[in-house]
Chains A and B, each alone.
Chain A
Amino acid sequence: MSANKEETLFQQKVDAEQKIEPKDWMPDAYRRTLVRQISQHAHSEVVGMLPEGNWITRAPSLRRKTVLLAKVQDEAGHGLYLYSAAETLGVGRDELVDQLLTGKAKYSSIFNYPTITWADMGAIGWLVDGAAIMNQVMLCRTSYGPYARAMVRICKEESFHQRQGYEIMLVLSRGTPEQKAMAQDALDRWWWPSLMMFGPSDKDSTHSAQSMKWKIKRQSNDELRQTFIDRTVSQAEFLGLKIPDDKLKWNEETQHYDWGEIDWTEFFDVIKGNGPCNRERLAAKQKAHADGAWVREAAMAYAEKKAKRQAA
Protein backbone atom coordinates (compact mmCIF):
# COMPACT_ATOMS: atom_id res chain seq x y z
CA MET A 1 0.00 0.00 0.00
CA SER A 2 1.29 3.50 -0.72
CA ALA A 3 2.15 5.73 2.20
CA ASN A 4 -0.58 8.12 1.11
CA LYS A 5 -3.25 5.45 1.20
CA GLU A 6 -1.92 4.25 4.59
CA GLU A 7 -2.12 7.77 5.91
CA THR A 8 -5.72 8.17 4.75
CA LEU A 9 -6.70 4.88 6.41
CA PHE A 10 -4.89 5.94 9.56
CA GLN A 11 -6.75 9.25 9.73
CA GLN A 12 -10.07 7.48 9.09
CA LYS A 13 -9.41 5.19 12.03
CA VAL A 14 -8.60 8.18 14.23
CA ASP A 15 -11.69 10.06 13.06
CA ALA A 16 -13.83 7.02 13.83
CA GLU A 17 -12.46 7.06 17.41
CA GLN A 18 -10.64 3.76 16.96
CA LYS A 19 -7.49 3.52 19.03
CA ILE A 20 -4.12 3.16 17.33
CA GLU A 21 -2.17 0.20 18.69
CA PRO A 22 1.62 -0.33 18.73
CA LYS A 23 1.91 -2.56 15.68
CA ASP A 24 -0.48 -0.49 13.51
CA TRP A 25 0.87 1.62 10.69
CA MET A 26 1.27 5.25 11.79
CA PRO A 27 2.84 8.36 10.26
CA ASP A 28 6.44 8.87 11.38
CA ALA A 29 5.55 12.29 12.74
CA TYR A 30 2.73 10.80 14.85
CA ARG A 31 5.19 8.34 16.34
CA ARG A 32 7.79 11.04 16.96
CA THR A 33 5.25 13.36 18.55
CA LEU A 34 4.06 10.60 20.86
CA VAL A 35 7.55 9.54 21.87
CA ARG A 36 8.40 13.14 22.68
CA GLN A 37 5.18 13.84 24.55
CA ILE A 38 4.93 10.57 26.48
CA SER A 39 8.59 10.58 27.50
CA GLN A 40 8.39 14.24 28.58
CA HIS A 41 5.37 13.29 30.60
CA ALA A 42 7.24 10.33 32.15
CA HIS A 43 10.25 12.54 33.00
CA SER A 44 7.88 15.04 34.63
CA GLU A 45 6.43 12.38 36.91
CA VAL A 46 9.91 11.27 37.93
CA VAL A 47 11.45 14.72 38.39
CA GLY A 48 8.22 15.71 40.13
CA MET A 49 9.16 13.41 42.98
CA LEU A 50 12.06 15.70 43.95
CA PRO A 51 10.29 18.85 45.19
CA GLU A 52 7.96 16.78 47.37
CA GLY A 53 10.64 14.30 48.39
CA ASN A 54 12.28 17.36 49.91
CA TRP A 55 9.62 17.37 52.68
CA ILE A 56 9.22 13.68 53.50
CA THR A 57 11.65 13.78 56.40
CA ARG A 58 10.18 17.03 57.70
CA ALA A 59 6.46 16.34 57.39
CA PRO A 60 4.71 17.72 60.50
CA SER A 61 3.12 14.44 61.60
CA LEU A 62 3.35 10.72 61.00
CA ARG A 63 0.05 10.83 59.08
CA ARG A 64 1.34 13.54 56.76
CA LYS A 65 4.59 11.67 56.27
CA THR A 66 2.80 8.43 55.34
CA VAL A 67 0.53 10.26 52.91
CA LEU A 68 3.40 12.16 51.27
CA LEU A 69 5.43 8.98 50.91
CA ALA A 70 2.47 7.23 49.26
CA LYS A 71 1.97 10.14 46.89
CA VAL A 72 5.61 10.33 45.87
CA GLN A 73 5.62 6.56 45.35
CA ASP A 74 2.56 6.94 43.11
CA GLU A 75 4.45 9.46 40.98
CA ALA A 76 7.24 6.92 40.49
CA GLY A 77 4.56 4.48 39.32
CA HIS A 78 3.18 7.08 36.92
CA GLY A 79 6.63 7.51 35.45
CA LEU A 80 6.85 3.74 34.95
CA TYR A 81 3.42 3.47 33.27
CA LEU A 82 4.42 6.21 30.87
CA TYR A 83 7.90 4.89 30.06
CA SER A 84 6.21 1.57 29.44
CA ALA A 85 3.77 3.23 26.99
CA ALA A 86 6.63 5.07 25.23
CA GLU A 87 8.56 1.84 24.82
CA THR A 88 5.71 0.33 22.79
CA LEU A 89 6.67 2.86 20.10
CA GLY A 90 10.09 1.30 19.66
CA VAL A 91 12.35 3.42 21.90
CA GLY A 92 14.41 1.85 24.66
CA ARG A 93 14.19 2.86 28.28
CA ASP A 94 17.93 3.48 28.44
CA GLU A 95 17.62 5.89 25.53
CA LEU A 96 14.85 7.85 27.25
CA VAL A 97 16.68 7.97 30.57
CA ASP A 98 19.81 9.17 28.77
CA GLN A 99 17.87 11.99 27.16
CA LEU A 100 16.69 13.10 30.60
CA LEU A 101 20.09 12.83 32.26
CA THR A 102 21.95 14.66 29.50
CA GLY A 103 19.42 17.49 29.59
CA LYS A 104 18.28 16.78 26.04
CA ALA A 105 14.73 15.97 27.07
CA LYS A 106 12.32 18.40 28.65
CA TYR A 107 10.04 17.91 31.63
CA SER A 108 7.33 20.09 33.11
CA SER A 109 8.79 23.45 34.16
CA ILE A 110 6.75 23.51 37.34
CA PHE A 111 9.23 21.18 39.00
CA ASN A 112 11.99 23.72 38.63
CA TYR A 113 10.50 25.82 41.42
CA PRO A 114 11.69 25.29 45.00
CA THR A 115 9.55 23.95 47.86
CA ILE A 116 10.50 26.24 50.69
CA THR A 117 7.69 25.73 53.23
CA TRP A 118 5.37 22.91 54.29
CA ALA A 119 2.46 24.80 52.72
CA ASP A 120 4.10 24.13 49.35
CA MET A 121 3.10 20.47 49.79
CA GLY A 122 -0.49 21.67 50.05
CA ALA A 123 -0.26 24.02 47.09
CA ILE A 124 1.42 21.41 44.91
CA GLY A 125 -1.20 18.73 45.59
CA TRP A 126 -4.07 21.14 45.17
CA LEU A 127 -2.85 23.18 42.19
CA VAL A 128 -0.07 21.27 40.44
CA ASP A 129 -1.74 17.88 40.64
CA GLY A 130 -5.04 19.62 39.99
CA ALA A 131 -3.73 21.13 36.76
CA ALA A 132 -2.10 17.83 35.78
CA ILE A 133 -5.42 16.05 36.31
CA MET A 134 -7.18 18.37 33.85
CA ASN A 135 -4.67 17.40 31.20
CA GLN A 136 -4.64 13.74 32.14
CA VAL A 137 -8.41 13.33 32.10
CA MET A 138 -8.35 14.63 28.54
CA LEU A 139 -5.54 12.21 27.66
CA CYS A 140 -7.61 9.20 28.83
CA ARG A 141 -9.27 9.65 25.42
CA THR A 142 -6.08 10.14 23.42
CA SER A 143 -5.85 8.19 20.15
CA TYR A 144 -2.84 6.01 21.04
CA GLY A 145 -4.06 2.95 22.96
CA PRO A 146 -1.17 2.33 25.37
CA TYR A 147 -1.00 6.04 26.27
CA ALA A 148 -4.74 6.20 26.91
CA ARG A 149 -4.64 3.10 29.09
CA ALA A 150 -1.72 4.45 31.13
CA MET A 151 -3.70 7.64 31.66
CA VAL A 152 -6.77 5.82 32.95
CA ARG A 153 -4.57 4.09 35.51
CA ILE A 154 -2.95 7.39 36.49
CA CYS A 155 -6.21 9.30 36.78
CA LYS A 156 -7.56 6.74 39.24
CA GLU A 157 -4.63 7.51 41.51
CA GLU A 158 -4.47 11.27 41.08
CA SER A 159 -7.59 12.39 42.86
CA PHE A 160 -6.15 11.43 46.23
CA HIS A 161 -3.13 13.59 45.40
CA GLN A 162 -5.23 16.66 44.88
CA ARG A 163 -7.37 16.05 47.94
CA GLN A 164 -4.47 15.52 50.32
CA GLY A 165 -3.02 18.82 49.07
CA TYR A 166 -6.27 20.67 49.55
CA GLU A 167 -6.59 19.19 53.02
CA ILE A 168 -3.17 20.57 53.95
CA MET A 169 -4.25 24.01 52.71
CA LEU A 170 -7.52 23.72 54.61
CA VAL A 171 -5.82 22.91 57.92
CA LEU A 172 -3.30 25.74 57.48
CA SER A 173 -5.90 28.29 56.46
CA ARG A 174 -7.99 27.48 59.56
CA GLY A 175 -4.89 27.58 61.78
CA THR A 176 -2.90 30.37 63.41
CA PRO A 177 -2.41 33.66 61.52
CA GLU A 178 1.14 32.52 60.75
CA GLN A 179 -0.12 29.27 59.28
CA LYS A 180 -2.72 31.05 57.19
CA ALA A 181 -0.07 33.45 55.93
CA MET A 182 2.09 30.48 55.00
CA ALA A 183 -0.77 29.01 52.97
CA GLN A 184 -1.37 32.35 51.24
CA ASP A 185 2.32 32.69 50.44
CA ALA A 186 2.33 29.23 48.86
CA LEU A 187 -0.71 30.09 46.76
CA ASP A 188 0.98 33.33 45.69
CA ARG A 189 4.06 31.48 44.47
CA TRP A 190 2.37 28.46 42.84
CA TRP A 191 -0.63 30.04 41.15
CA TRP A 192 1.01 31.43 38.01
CA PRO A 193 3.44 28.54 37.44
CA SER A 194 0.43 26.20 37.73
CA LEU A 195 -1.37 28.11 34.97
CA MET A 196 1.79 27.86 32.85
CA MET A 197 1.59 24.06 33.13
CA PHE A 198 -1.04 24.05 30.38
CA GLY A 199 1.59 25.25 27.95
CA PRO A 200 1.77 28.24 25.62
CA SER A 201 -1.37 30.03 24.53
CA ASP A 202 -3.15 28.41 21.57
CA LYS A 203 -2.03 31.15 19.20
CA ASP A 204 1.66 30.45 20.02
CA SER A 205 1.48 26.70 20.38
CA THR A 206 3.45 25.04 17.59
CA HIS A 207 2.21 21.46 17.81
CA SER A 208 -1.40 22.00 18.81
CA ALA A 209 -3.30 21.88 15.50
CA GLN A 210 -1.68 18.67 14.28
CA SER A 211 -2.05 17.01 17.68
CA MET A 212 -5.75 17.86 17.70
CA LYS A 213 -6.18 16.42 14.19
CA TRP A 214 -4.51 13.20 15.30
CA LYS A 215 -6.60 13.30 18.48
CA ILE A 216 -3.50 13.04 20.62
CA LYS A 217 -4.87 16.15 22.30
CA ARG A 218 -8.61 16.64 22.55
CA GLN A 219 -8.78 20.11 24.05
CA SER A 220 -6.57 23.15 23.54
CA ASN A 221 -4.18 24.55 26.14
CA ASP A 222 -6.31 27.66 26.63
CA GLU A 223 -9.55 25.70 27.05
CA LEU A 224 -8.04 23.48 29.73
CA ARG A 225 -6.48 26.45 31.49
CA GLN A 226 -9.80 28.30 31.57
CA THR A 227 -11.64 25.28 32.99
CA PHE A 228 -8.98 24.91 35.66
CA ILE A 229 -9.36 28.54 36.69
CA ASP A 230 -13.16 28.34 36.71
CA ARG A 231 -13.03 25.34 39.01
CA THR A 232 -10.29 26.54 41.33
CA VAL A 233 -11.59 30.00 42.24
CA SER A 234 -14.35 28.77 44.53
CA GLN A 235 -11.95 26.32 46.18
CA ALA A 236 -9.66 29.24 47.03
CA GLU A 237 -12.60 31.24 48.33
CA PHE A 238 -13.57 28.39 50.63
CA LEU A 239 -10.06 28.46 52.07
CA GLY A 240 -10.37 32.21 52.57
CA LEU A 241 -7.25 32.74 50.46
CA LYS A 242 -6.78 35.26 47.71
CA ILE A 243 -5.68 34.25 44.22
CA PRO A 244 -2.84 36.62 43.24
CA ASP A 245 -4.53 38.11 40.18
CA ASP A 246 -6.15 41.56 40.38
CA LYS A 247 -7.90 41.05 37.07
CA LEU A 248 -9.68 37.89 38.18
CA LYS A 249 -13.41 38.53 37.84
CA TRP A 250 -16.53 36.54 36.98
CA ASN A 251 -17.88 37.37 33.53
CA GLU A 252 -21.66 36.92 33.38
CA GLU A 253 -21.65 37.05 29.60
CA THR A 254 -19.03 34.35 28.89
CA GLN A 255 -19.88 32.38 32.05
CA HIS A 256 -16.16 32.18 32.73
CA TYR A 257 -13.67 34.05 34.86
CA ASP A 258 -11.70 36.80 33.20
CA TRP A 259 -8.15 36.86 34.41
CA GLY A 260 -4.77 38.57 33.98
CA GLU A 261 -1.77 37.85 31.83
CA ILE A 262 0.81 35.08 32.19
CA ASP A 263 4.42 36.21 32.25
CA TRP A 264 5.56 34.24 29.21
CA THR A 265 9.15 35.47 29.44
CA GLU A 266 9.40 33.68 32.77
CA PHE A 267 7.82 30.57 31.25
CA PHE A 268 10.27 30.34 28.35
CA ASP A 269 13.19 31.24 30.58
CA VAL A 270 12.48 28.32 32.91
CA ILE A 271 12.06 25.99 29.92
CA LYS A 272 15.45 27.12 28.64
CA GLY A 273 17.01 25.94 31.88
CA ASN A 274 17.15 29.16 33.88
CA GLY A 275 14.54 28.35 36.51
CA PRO A 276 15.47 28.44 40.18
CA CYS A 277 16.08 24.67 40.39
CA ASN A 278 16.83 23.35 36.88
CA ARG A 279 20.45 22.55 37.67
CA GLU A 280 19.68 21.06 41.06
CA ARG A 281 16.98 18.74 39.65
CA LEU A 282 19.17 17.44 36.88
CA ALA A 283 22.10 16.94 39.24
CA ALA A 284 19.88 14.98 41.65
CA LYS A 285 18.72 12.65 38.85
CA GLN A 286 22.27 12.17 37.56
CA LYS A 287 23.52 11.35 41.03
CA ALA A 288 20.69 8.88 41.71
CA HIS A 289 21.38 7.15 38.40
CA ALA A 290 25.12 6.95 39.02
CA ASP A 291 24.67 5.79 42.62
CA GLY A 292 22.31 3.04 41.45
CA ALA A 293 24.64 1.68 38.76
CA TRP A 294 26.20 -0.99 40.97
CA VAL A 295 22.75 -2.20 42.04
CA ARG A 296 21.64 -2.61 38.43
CA GLU A 297 24.85 -4.44 37.55
CA ALA A 298 24.75 -6.69 40.62
CA ALA A 299 21.12 -7.66 40.03
CA MET A 300 21.90 -8.59 36.44
CA ALA A 301 25.00 -10.60 37.44
CA TYR A 302 23.00 -12.43 40.10
CA ALA A 303 20.19 -13.23 37.66
CA GLU A 304 22.68 -14.60 35.15
CA LYS A 305 24.40 -16.71 37.77
CA LYS A 306 21.07 -18.12 38.93
CA ALA A 307 20.02 -18.92 35.38
CA LYS A 308 23.32 -20.73 34.74
CA ARG A 309 22.95 -22.77 37.90
CA GLN A 310 19.43 -23.76 36.94
CA ALA A 311 20.57 -24.80 33.47
CA ALA A 312 23.38 -26.96 34.88
Chain B
Amino acid sequence: MSSTNEKDWPLWEIFIQSKRGLDHKHVGSLHAADAQMAIENARDVYTRRNEGNSIWAVLAENIHASRPEDQGAFFDPADDKVYRHPTFYPMPEGVKYI
Protein backbone atom coordinates (compact mmCIF):
# COMPACT_ATOMS: atom_id res chain seq x y z
CA MET B 1 0.00 0.00 0.00
CA SER B 2 2.88 2.35 0.71
CA SER B 3 4.03 4.22 -2.35
CA THR B 4 7.64 4.52 -1.22
CA ASN B 5 8.94 1.71 -3.41
CA GLU B 6 7.29 3.12 -6.52
CA LYS B 7 9.03 5.73 -8.56
CA ASP B 8 7.04 8.89 -8.03
CA TRP B 9 5.88 11.00 -10.92
CA PRO B 10 7.84 14.25 -11.07
CA LEU B 11 6.36 17.59 -10.03
CA TRP B 12 5.40 20.12 -12.71
CA GLU B 13 4.62 23.80 -12.22
CA ILE B 14 1.68 24.94 -14.32
CA PHE B 15 1.22 28.30 -16.03
CA ILE B 16 -2.03 29.29 -17.72
CA GLN B 17 -2.80 32.01 -20.21
CA SER B 18 -6.39 32.96 -19.58
CA LYS B 19 -6.89 34.88 -22.84
CA ARG B 20 -4.97 35.52 -26.01
CA GLY B 21 -2.73 38.52 -25.56
CA LEU B 22 -2.27 38.09 -21.83
CA ASP B 23 0.75 36.59 -20.11
CA HIS B 24 0.94 33.08 -18.70
CA LYS B 25 0.39 33.05 -14.96
CA HIS B 26 1.46 30.48 -12.38
CA VAL B 27 -1.57 28.59 -11.02
CA GLY B 28 -0.11 25.69 -9.06
CA SER B 29 1.53 22.35 -9.60
CA LEU B 30 0.77 18.71 -10.24
CA HIS B 31 2.51 15.37 -10.64
CA ALA B 32 2.67 13.69 -14.04
CA ALA B 33 4.80 11.07 -15.75
CA ASP B 34 5.68 13.31 -18.69
CA ALA B 35 5.02 16.72 -20.22
CA GLN B 36 2.06 15.62 -22.28
CA MET B 37 0.32 14.14 -19.26
CA ALA B 38 1.15 17.25 -17.25
CA ILE B 39 -0.56 19.44 -19.84
CA GLU B 40 -3.60 17.18 -20.12
CA ASN B 41 -3.99 16.93 -16.36
CA ALA B 42 -3.52 20.68 -16.03
CA ARG B 43 -6.39 21.12 -18.47
CA ASP B 44 -8.59 18.87 -16.31
CA VAL B 45 -7.76 20.51 -12.98
CA TYR B 46 -7.00 24.12 -13.78
CA THR B 47 -9.29 24.93 -16.72
CA ARG B 48 -12.61 23.23 -16.00
CA ARG B 49 -14.43 26.54 -16.47
CA ASN B 50 -12.69 28.01 -19.51
CA GLU B 51 -10.00 29.63 -17.36
CA GLY B 52 -7.40 28.92 -19.99
CA ASN B 53 -6.46 29.14 -23.59
CA SER B 54 -2.86 27.98 -23.35
CA ILE B 55 -0.92 25.89 -20.83
CA TRP B 56 2.79 25.73 -20.01
CA ALA B 57 4.14 22.89 -17.88
CA VAL B 58 7.66 23.23 -16.45
CA LEU B 59 9.46 20.60 -14.42
CA ALA B 60 9.61 22.10 -10.93
CA GLU B 61 13.28 21.18 -10.60
CA ASN B 62 14.07 23.39 -13.60
CA ILE B 63 12.80 26.56 -11.94
CA HIS B 64 15.46 28.72 -10.32
CA ALA B 65 14.41 31.44 -7.92
CA SER B 66 15.97 34.47 -6.30
CA ARG B 67 16.58 34.14 -2.57
CA PRO B 68 14.16 35.99 -0.32
CA GLU B 69 16.84 36.45 2.36
CA ASP B 70 18.87 38.71 0.03
CA GLN B 71 15.79 40.47 -1.23
CA GLY B 72 16.92 43.85 0.10
CA ALA B 73 20.42 43.90 -1.34
CA PHE B 74 19.34 42.15 -4.51
CA PHE B 75 16.68 44.63 -5.52
CA ASP B 76 18.08 47.85 -4.07
CA PRO B 77 19.85 48.98 -7.27
CA ALA B 78 16.38 50.02 -8.41
CA ASP B 79 15.64 52.00 -5.25
CA ASP B 80 17.55 55.20 -6.02
CA LYS B 81 16.79 55.59 -9.70
CA VAL B 82 13.81 57.88 -9.65
CA TYR B 83 14.87 59.22 -13.05
CA ARG B 84 13.55 55.98 -14.53
CA HIS B 85 10.03 57.19 -13.89
CA PRO B 86 8.21 59.78 -16.00
CA THR B 87 7.19 61.79 -12.92
CA PHE B 88 10.88 62.78 -12.51
CA TYR B 89 10.44 65.16 -15.46
CA PRO B 90 7.91 67.89 -14.75
CA MET B 91 6.53 69.34 -17.95
CA PRO B 92 5.73 73.04 -18.27
CA GLU B 93 2.07 74.04 -18.49
CA GLY B 94 0.94 74.11 -22.08
CA VAL B 95 3.09 71.24 -23.34
CA LYS B 96 0.67 68.67 -24.66
CA TYR B 97 0.58 64.99 -25.62
CA ILE B 98 3.69 63.99 -23.69
Contact = CB atoms under 8 A, between A and B. Distances in A.
Given A98-B3, A286-B1, A303 B67 contact: no
Interface in B22-80: 27-31, 33-34, 37, 44-46, 48-49, 65, 67-69
A312 interface: no
Contact of B69 (A25, A87, A296): A25
B37 A299 contact: yes
A115 B96 CA distance: 71
Nearest to B35: A303
A84 B29 contact: yes
B68 A98 contact: no
B65 A74 contact: no
Given A73-B48, A77-B45, A87-B11, A94 B4 contact: yes
B2 interface: yes
B9 A300 contact: yes
B48 A303 contact: no
A111 interface: no
Interface residues on B, range: 20 to 34
A80 B30 contact: yes
A306 B34 contact: yes
A87 to B, nearest CB: 7
A297 to B, nearest CB: 6
A290 B1 contact: yes
Contacts of A156: 49
Contacts of B3: 94, 97-98, 289, 293
Contact of B6 (A92, A286, A293, A303): A293
Contacts of B9: 296, 299-300
Given A24-B68, A303-B34, A80 B4 contact: no
Interface in A130-172: 146, 149-150, 153, 156-157
Contact of A80 (B1, B45, B65, B67): B45
Contacts of A146: 28
A146 B27 CA distance: 10
A23 interface: yes
Nearest to A296: B6
A254 B67 CA distance: 50
A70 B3 CA distance: 29
Contact of A93 (B8, B34, B46, B69): B8
Nearest to A285: B1
Given A93-B11, A94-B8, 14 more contacts: A23-B67, A70-B48, A77-B45, A80-B45, A84-B28, A84-B30, A92-B8, A94-B4, A98-B4, A102-B2, A149-B28, A290-B1, A300-B7, A300-B33
